[in-house]
């Protein structure tokens, strides 16, 4: 019983965090296999749950790292979300990364390593998402499961 009460209290404290950095959790990644040589099958859609304690995520950016190479990063602008800042917001973003190319696995981006990604097989890719709010606060981020890369 005491453990259950402690868990509820810990969850309540975490929900009321004063940390201004937005949190991200990838809910889904589609498709499960990309075909870089086929324009109809080389786009990735990520659904990301966000949680921002101070409501200033809108006006920030999403950094999406392709963990196959250190220089492979896509930055997307986040439109305004909350009618006013200073309020806790949470929801989902649907992110589209178009025209993912064929990359030979190389040096992992630092962001991917920090999020626990290790070396990748030649026929897979992992994508990591980090939210940056309008004030420049970088959240912890999250990564996809390995996504297949089909070669022609």
CA 74 to each of CA 44, 61, 81, 88: distance values in angstroms, whole numbers, following the listed order: 12, 10, 21, 27
Instruction: Write down the pTM of the prediction.
Output: 0.85
The single-letter DSSP state of residue 41 is G
- Amino acid 52: pLDDT: 96
Domains observed in the chain: 20-149 (2.60.40.10)
Short-list 129, 123, 94, 93, CA closest to 109? 129
Per-residue b/e over 88-116, b at no fewer than 16 CB within 10 Å? Answer: ebeeebebebeebeebebeebbebbeebe
**Tens digit of pLDDT per residue, the chain (152 long)?**
443 433 333 443 344 456 789 999 999 999 999 999 999 999 999 999 999 999 999 999 999 999 999 999 999 999 999 888 889 999 999 999 999 999 887 899 999 999 999 989 889 999 999 999 999 999 999 999 999 999 86
What's the pLDDT score for residue 18? 65
pLDDT score for 16:
47
pLDDT, position 152: 67
Distance CA 36, CA 100 (A): 6
């Amino acid at each position: 019983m005491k453990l259950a009460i402690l868990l509820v209290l810990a969850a309540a404290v975490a929900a009321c965090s004063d940390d201004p950095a937005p949190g991200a959790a990838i809910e889904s990644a589609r498709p499960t296999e990309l075909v870089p040589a086929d324009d109809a099958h080389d786009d990735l859609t990520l659904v990301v749950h966000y949680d921002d304690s101070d409501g200033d995520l809108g006006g920030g950016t999403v950094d999406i790292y392709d963990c196959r190479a250190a220089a492979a990063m896509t930055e997307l602008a986040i439109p305004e979300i909350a009618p006013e800042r200073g309020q806790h917001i949470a929801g989902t973003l649907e992110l589209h990364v178009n025209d993912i190319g064929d990359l030979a696995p190389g040096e992992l981006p630092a962001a991917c390593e920090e999020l626990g990604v290790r070396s990748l097989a030649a026929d897979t890719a992992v994508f990591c998402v980090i939210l940056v709010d309008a004030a420049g606060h970088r959240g912890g981020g999250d990564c996809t499961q390995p996504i297949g890369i089909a070669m022609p």
